[in-house]
Amino acid sequence: MSDGPILAVEGLTRVFGSGRHANLAVDRVDLAIRPGEVVALIGESGSGKTTVARMLLGLLPPTEGTVRYRGVDLDTLRRREGMRSYWRNVQAVFQDPFGSLNAFYSVRRCMLNAFKLFPRRPPRAERIARVREALDIVGLDVDDMLTKHPHQLSGGQRQRVMIARALVVQPGVLIADEPTSMIDASSRAAILNILLDLRTRLGLTVMFITHDIGMAYYTSDRLFIMHLGRIVEEGPADDIIRDPQHEYTKRLLADVPTLSREWIL
């Protein structure tokens, strides 16, 4: 099982609406992510990326197709252990960190809430220690942060708190849906580097979701190019950048003036 994918979808399909108004948002998507990989799902706005992410997270039922975590169907997992056990393993960071934070909660309270995913919470001292450790990993000043509220933080700090909150349950997989698209340009590289560092430091498997093929190339081993609900091309990042096969990939690349792994540093 260790050789198999940690997360895989097969024939994943989602239709919104019905009849004349049916919208095929995701159309028979297959993808498999191996443990420890960093992959990117790339496509323009409306191509179905977030819908794939929501199905991967078990937040939206597929119209057709399966999601498997370590070879086990999500429906089976849901029946057997409930979704909390899955969410301890697979966490997400979304594009709008303000929307994901409760304005009335301090950072400490927001972070401690993550332990609701455990059937038996660890003792308070351990919970606090893990919160501090997670805030430290994302490069925040721990003592300064704990009592702050969302409106007292910059966009970059808020997104770091959201990453820390995802880490506090010690997941194996992180899905990052446009994690820097609402962050000012000056903090973007730092946030991406923190996310990348998680693989090295924690052995995390990461899926980046982005409209930016440059960002995907910079961060990821393998790319999945999505267009109108379908994966039109996939492969090692270097191969795709050097020799794109699909017209849509070529178009995406034509929009990026220079592409090197150093461009963002």
Residues at the site binding ligand ADP, with contacts judged by CB under 6 A: 16, 23, 25, 43, 45-51
Selection from ligand ADP, Mg ion, none that 245 binds (CB < 5 to 8 A by kind) is: none
The residue among 45, 65, 47, 46 whose CA lies nearest residue 55 is: 65
Residue with tokens 């450790």: 133
Q: Which residues of 148-168 are buried (b: 16+ CB within 10 A; e: fewer)?
A: bebeebebbbbbbbbbbbbbb
Question: Of the two residues 54 and 88, which places its CB atom closer to Mg ion in the complex?
Answer: 54
Structural contact between residues 181 and 159, judged by C-beta atoms closer than 8 angstroms: no
Q: How many CB atoms lie within 10 A of CB 63?
A: 16
Residue with tokens 């096969």: 245
Selection from Mg ion, ligand ADP, none that 113 binds (CB < 5 to 8 A by kind) is: none
Question: Do the strands 72-73 and 64-69 form a parallel or antiparallel pair, or are they unpaired?
Answer: antiparallel
The residues near 118 (Cβ < 8 Å, ≥ 6 apart) are 84, 88, 169
Selection from Mg ion, ligand ADP, none that 180 binds (CB < 5 to 8 A by kind) is: none
Question: Of the two residues 51 and 100, which places its CB atom closer to ligand ADP in the complex?
Answer: 51
Question: Of the two residues 26 and 237, which places its CB atom closer to ligand ADP in the complex?
Answer: 26
Question: Of the two residues 45 and 186, which places its CB atom closer to ligand ADP in the complex?
Answer: 45
Question: Of the two residues 49 and 160, which places its CB atom closer to Mg ion in the complex?
Answer: 49
Q: Does 219 bind Mg ion (CB under 5 A)?
A: no
Stretch that binds Mg ion, among 50-58, 132-140, 192-200, 252-260 (CB under 5 A): 50-58
Structural contact between residues 178 and 95, judged by C-beta atoms closer than 8 angstroms: yes
Structural contact between residues 174 and 198, judged by C-beta atoms closer than 8 angstroms: yes
Q: Does 47 bind Mg ion (CB under 5 A)?
A: no
Task: Report in angstroms how near the CB of residue 178 gets to ligand ADP at its nearest.
Answer: 8
Determine the residue with CB nearest Mg ion.
50
Site string for Mg ion, 5-44 (x = CB under 5 A): ----------------------------------------
Handedness of CA 235, 236, 237, 243 (dihedral sign): negative
Task: Report in angstroms how near the CB of residue 118 gets to ligand ADP at its nearest.
Answer: 30
Binding positions for Mg ion, rule: CB under 5 A: 49-50
